[in-house]
A and B are shown apart, each in its own frame.
Chain A
Amino acid sequence: MLTITMAIFIPFLAAIFIPSIYKGIPRVNIGWFVLIIPVTLFIMLARNISAIAAGETYIQTIPWIPSAGIYFTTYLDGLSMIFGLLITGVGSLVILYSIYYLSARESLAHFYVYLLLFMGAMLGVVFSDNMMVLYVFWELTSISSFLLIAFWYHRKQSRYGAQKSLLITVTGGIAMLAGFLMLYAMTGSFSIRENIASVGELTGEALFLPALLLVLVGAFTKSAQFPFHIWLPDAMEAPTPVSAYLHSATMVKAGIYIVARFTPVFGGEPVWFYAVSAVGIFTLFWGSLNAVRQTDLKALLAYSTISQLGLVMSLFGLGSAALHAGYSANSVLYTQATFAALFHLVNHSTFKGALFMMVGIVDLNVGTRDVRRLGGLMSLMPFTFTIAVIGSFSMAGLPPFNGFLSKEMFFEAMLTLRHLEFFSIGTWGTWFPVIAWIASVFTFVYSMIIVFQTFLGEHQPDRLDRKAHEAPPGMLIAPSILALLVVTIFFFPNIIGQYLLRPAMASIYPSLAGEMELAPRILAWHGKVDTPLLMTGGVVILGIILYRLLQYWRNIYEIGPFRWNLDALYNGMLSFAERSSSLLTNFYMTGDLRNYLSYIFAFFLLAVGGSLWFTGGFSFDMSNDAPIALNEYILVFVMAAACVLMLFVRSRITAILLNGVLGYSIALFFVFFRAPDLALTQIVVETVTTGLFLACFYFLPEWKREKSAQPTKIFNGLIAVSAGVVVTVIALSVQGNKMFESISVYFENAYDLAGGKNIVNTILGDFRAFDTMLEVVVLFIAGIGVYTLVKLKAKKEERDVED
């Protein structure tokens, strides 16, 4: 379908026009124009929901580089539909929110161009079927994320966070590219669908396991899974709408998308099961544990995002077991894990988006996000408080919010691991629900911190930068819509289940789709008190106790593993790389032109002279030489003498006149060698050049004797003499070995081919006219350069940048 391809490109096209609209219509906030785009795309996608739910898929292929197997194939199925709706839906709300969040003094055109760039790239990631195209868009999301994190680039921390996220995600991206190339090597196709189709033949291949691991590295870096999660907290330097959009709702879920998309390819493999579920569950645990100790609300949300992404990841890992088991009673159970993962993915985007926007409102209103300075804002900001309660309680897994439903399903899925009989999982299976439960307790604790330490307790107006008051209504619209969704999904979960999640399940389990019902009914109350409900009850009770006693056990963060710092490792590696590369570079990049030219000539001598020496390519043949007349002898002697003298003259005027002697002598030679055009040109150019030199001398000081030390001069002389000898020897050898006939006979047909009788002219104006055109371009560029250097003065700007 054409519109899906268009959906990818519309944001890019719109980005082109944003700067001119921004300049042209300064009175209207540019955000309102930008808002049209995601809203339109959302409606466009939403119109297809029922068709996708009925099992249809849309595919469109445009050949891009067919010889390399690269086709621009867009593919819309249940899985990409969910992501597409998230990208455009959350995107619309975030843009609406940012209209109020960003002041008009910020460079809004940049902001929205980057944001649209990201939107297009992200849609490209989820709609591309070709792995190469997917990779291109994947890296583009990293780049736009880099630009958005560094939006306030005058802050040092912003630049640091941007660099960190780019380095980590792009490293993962390159690993993923290698994985894709391995898949291509095995199946001969970059199409994900074709790879899924040929999955049976793959598993035995030697490259299968490396490809699996490399693709996972890409997914884990992007989705901030342990130990690559360290970039996400630093990415919080971005403006809050960006954090809400890229770093909680969409971009960080790209890794999860890759895992879901490649589950049919790799899912049957035990390594995939272990890697995805173990890394996921540990990230869930580690993220929630670290979130509790954060005092900055955004950092807390960042760790909570890491943790929640780990939760979704681990569920996808469990779900892959169904592919191993094939069609059986058990596999129905395992597919429920994937269903829970997709459901939580949607839920997380709603409540986390609302929470980020809430934190942005608090930050903007009182000038801090530090929970130690906040407190008692409930009565001053009642609407913001309501949003915070809905978001946090949903995240903690309490009813009547959507997080409760997916959290229950998560516990349920973890409990089924106990029944897992393959992959020799043994007692490990019981650890999964335990870790999941502990992590949920901490999730509960930090969710309470968000609500109670910000909005309840004692209000401390003297510790805030600004007086607290409720946010403007416009700013509350977007988070309110999300909060409303949080509640609505709780009461009507099966609409989402049937229309969004079921088709996505079919994309993840293409082999099982026809054989069983993949989408269960989501129920808030199972009719009895079952284990998941008991677990939730335990979470609440222990969570409240731990929250109450927080000040007594907070000290554990000072001991043991919490002090081992992955950030320090990253910083150490970075500064080591910087130091060693600058050491290496400073060693040879001295800033002295002489050194650089010495490298060039030394390389020339070694490579050309050396290869001539080793291949024994010398062969001199002077028999074909033309006879030499007396005047030519004299002229050669004059030139040689003039140029050698140039080295010894005291005055630069003499030197330039000697250069003139060279030039005019060459013009004479051109006459002897039957080249009248050259002679004319040479005379003109030589005259002008000499004039230029003289004009310049007026401004420059008289040249001094070379101050170089004697050894340097000798070294220079050696290089110079060897260069001269090598050039001479090569030129003589070339003349001695005529390996090819001259092609110039072709040009002697000039009158028929080009309609000119002067062969040189026809070559310049016709046969090789393109060269001549570029020559003129060079002349033009040099002219611009001369003009700029003579006329323009650089303005020294005051730069407002932290070092």
Chain B
Amino acid sequence: MSNNNGYKLVQGNEACVEGALAAGMRFYAGYPITPSTEIAEISAQKLPQIGGKFIQMEDELASMAAIIGGSLAGLKSMTATSGPGFSLMQENIGYAALAEIPCVIVNVQRGGPSTGMPTSPAQGDIMQAKWGTHGDHPSISLTPNSVQETYEYTIKAFNIAEKYRTPVVLLMDETVGHMREKLKIKDSSEIEVINRKKPTCEPKDYVAYRPDEDMVPQMASFGEGYRYHVTGLTHDETGFPTNNNDVSGKLVQRIVDKVEKNIDDITYYEEYRMEDAEIVIVAFGGVSRAAKSAIDDMREKNIKVGMFRPITIWPFLEKQINDVAQKAKEIYVAEMNLGQYFLEVDRVAGKKCPVKKINKINGELITPNEITYAVTGGAIND
């Protein structure tokens, strides 16, 4: 590893840990799984050196549970996994959503379903990141496409989790997790770090789940003198369970609204050569890098093509996709699955212009040539 002028040559997985530490992560609980394991290894190495804690749990169910516990006890907490482990975490991700416990879950996607292709890239967990846990719930997923972005968006994932008191998924793919690029580690003065709101009232006046105007309740840590109850049952503002239909309905609506109604605050995307684009490629994560290359090739042949790259995968960037569809003649959604994100793009854009799929699920990256071939019908493929 080189270290020049604040630059390091590192893997995406290491950048993730650097970002997490910069955001204030002080507790990591996880279980080894390819291709995310380096995140656990590097956390195990670095956390005790700054007074933080690492624990290797017995499985991913326990890992997710432990980070919720760690967060409740006051430490910013994270776990990392891949498909099979992400499946095991789903129940407790729902718990964190309903009990409003900030935490970050990194999923470095690999080929699935089941054990699938552990060392190969895929983007097959797009819908799972949204709907993996049961019931209606808020879902936030961010997808970086480079080592530097992995660092930046891990920090943002923590900030969003803390601000909205909700689990946030950093949805990487094997390509980005294992790719080595230069990383600029920022000075702490350049990094915005958001911490959860703490109660300022006396403990006797604390109503644990009474939301402020921003729909987010103040959060005391266990041990700070605010003795309160936390449950995965639907609960009223006191935090105690209730079967009251009105209260239960409003609770679920609020935890969804606090994210959906603040979507502009968590909207991240990139537009590439979109100024006059008639053909738009929607791509994210590792595939977006191939798409950029394909677009440059096609632009040389005077094809007016550009890319819309969502970084915020969930909530779905409906407004931006709608804008893209107003101008585009054709949209292609390129992803390493059978068309999961396509479903959302088609739902919003499909009535305005044709939306087509470019998919690959064999464990190989989608290449620039394949994108060019799909878009041009082979006309300029070489």
Our verdict on whether A and B bind, yes or no, reads no
- Chain A residues within CB distance 8 Å of chain B: none
